[in-house]
Amino acid sequence: MAGNPRRGAGLIGLMKDAFQPHQQALQPHQPAVVDKKMVEKCWKLMDKVLTVVFRRNLTKLSLIFSHMLAELKAIFPNGLFQGDNFRITKADAAEFWRRSFGDKTIVPWRTFRQALHEFHPISSGLEAMALKSTIDLTCNDYISVFEFDIFTRLFQPWSSLLRNWNSLAVTHPGYMAFLTYDEVKARLHRFIHKPGSYIFRLSCTRLGQWAIGYVTADGNILQTIPHNKPLFQALIDGYREGFYLFPDGRAQNPDLTGLCEPSPQDHIKVTQEQYELYCEMGSTFQLCKICAENDKDVKIEPCRHLMCTSCLTAWQESEGQGCPFCRCEIKGTEPIVVDPFHPKASGASFAGFQGSSRAEAAGNEEEEDDRLEDQQLVMSRLACTKVRQAPNYMVPRPATKAPSSIPQSNGAGAEGSKPQTAINPVYCLAARYGALLH
């Protein structure tokens, strides 16, 4: 019986080794020899494991509770129920909800899945499970109009909703679910010597927007929220400029250029009535009414006011709150092209152009009137079932100007904002042209 026993492996092995004699067989009534250092090491390891597990679960539950609070505030602003008046940001998504569920605020997951399947086929039960883990932010087996709005903003446009979701959340190695500001920094710290490493997550404080964390060339870890563009476009631009190269530190970066497909709904035609109205004022419909220099090329959602990108960017950089025209919350933007009216080239009547300006008219009318199942595990299982083709890779350009970062506020894990300026020039111009909103 003499001799050292074979030592175990892992945590259990450490515990066995700590309480077993190592030199010789025990004599009668002789106390066992305990390796105190091994015991201390074992307990420290156990404490570390439990701390990580409990902290991870606490973070996930905290985010779920935060989503619940945000949903209640959206459905019950000022304590009053307004769910039947909730405005879904994307017009196509709003039309789907209205046709499928009427004025309902919340529907069971099974009902929602069946309705969505008619527009965007869900290929398997595993895909449905992964989809539910993404869209059901409150983990209650129901889908609310608030959660649907968040999901459609994150994975826009509507025409390729599930394709975008599969490319960005299922198969993309850079996607991280239920991570906070501090956890992103901790994860990227492992790649501090690998500039261009990045991951992205749902913004904790700005639901419906993405937050991208990345390692800079000088070894800093920054986080940014892309504005006025879908996530896939921000990742493509960041790759070409040398900022987003290695998703979660991996060498292969998925090619997302296949998601860039122009939509015919992005064109807004000027009607004869609008043309005549603006001619009387000595202006044109397509001219931005804030700067009076550039043409309108972006639509604010859900209010659908139009302006140029330069004015919108200046407004957001000066911390302007909401739409500069109506102060409605800016939940998203879409690039648009205004097709001017040509009276000589077109012999069509006003009725012929009425349908093409439906998007602008709709904006005017609206202004008047296992719930805690690990999401990453489900995503990984679904990703393994996807057939991957040989990827194409883009060649990054030399880094130019880095994306604006998210400053961290005093609260741990929070996402801060930039300081406000004393005078907002865009606001002054918007007030000046208040009579020419459309």
61-84 pLDDT, tens digit per residue, is 888 999 999 999 999 999 999 988
- Rounded Cα gap, residues 438 and 436, in angstroms: 6
pLDDT at residue 372 tops 50:
no
| Residue with the larger pLDDT of the pair 66 and 362 | 66
Give the pLDDT band of residue 359 (cuts 50, 70, 90): very low
pLDDT at residue 424 tops 70:
no
394, part of any domain: no
76/145 same-domain check: yes
**Looking at 317, 339, 361, which one is the last position of a domain?**
339
Give the pLDDT band of residue 162 (cuts 50, 70, 90): very high
107/225 same-domain check: no
pLDDT at residue 349 tops 50:
no
Give the pLDDT band of residue 339 (cuts 50, 70, 90): confident
Here the CATH number for the domain that contains residue 316 is 3.30.40.10
pTM of the model: 0.66
319/211 same-domain check: no
163/178 same-domain check: no
Give the pLDDT band of residue 223 (cuts 50, 70, 90): very high
Long-range contacts of 122-125 (CB under 8 A, 24+ apart): 122/162, 124/385
What percentage of the chain has pLDDT greater than the value 70? 68
Strands 306-307 and 337-339: unpaired
**Looking at 167, 199, 234, which one is the last position of a domain?**
167
Average confidence (pLDDT) over 102-117:
95
102/180 same-domain check: no
Here the CATH number for the domain that contains residue 43 is 1.10.238.10
Domain count, the chain: 3
Give the pLDDT band of residue 29 (cuts 50, 70, 90): low
414, part of any domain: no
Closest CA to 131 of 118, 144, 112: 112
374, part of any domain: no
143/53 same-domain check: yes
141/242 same-domain check: no
pLDDT digits (tens, 9 = 90+) for 287-307: 898 888 888 888 888 888 898
378, part of any domain: no
Q: What is the pLDDT of residue 10?
A: 56
Q: What is the CA radius of gyration of the chain?
A: 28
Average confidence (pLDDT) over 24-35:
55
Q: What is the pLDDT of residue 240?
A: 92
54, part of any domain: yes
425, part of any domain: no
283/220 same-domain check: no
Give the pLDDT band of residue 354 (cuts 50, 70, 90): very low
SS3 95: helix
27, part of any domain: no
Structural domain boundaries enclosing 302: 266-339
143/101 same-domain check: yes
- Rounded Cα gap, residues 195 and 359, in angstroms: 43
176/162 same-domain check: no
57/161 same-domain check: yes
pLDDT at residue 200 tops 80:
yes
Q: At what angle do helices 125-135 and 109-119 cross, to 10 degrees?
A: 110
Task: Determine contact, residues 195/216, Cβ cutoff 8 Å.
Answer: yes
**Looking at 167, 183, 210, which one is the last position of a domain?**
167
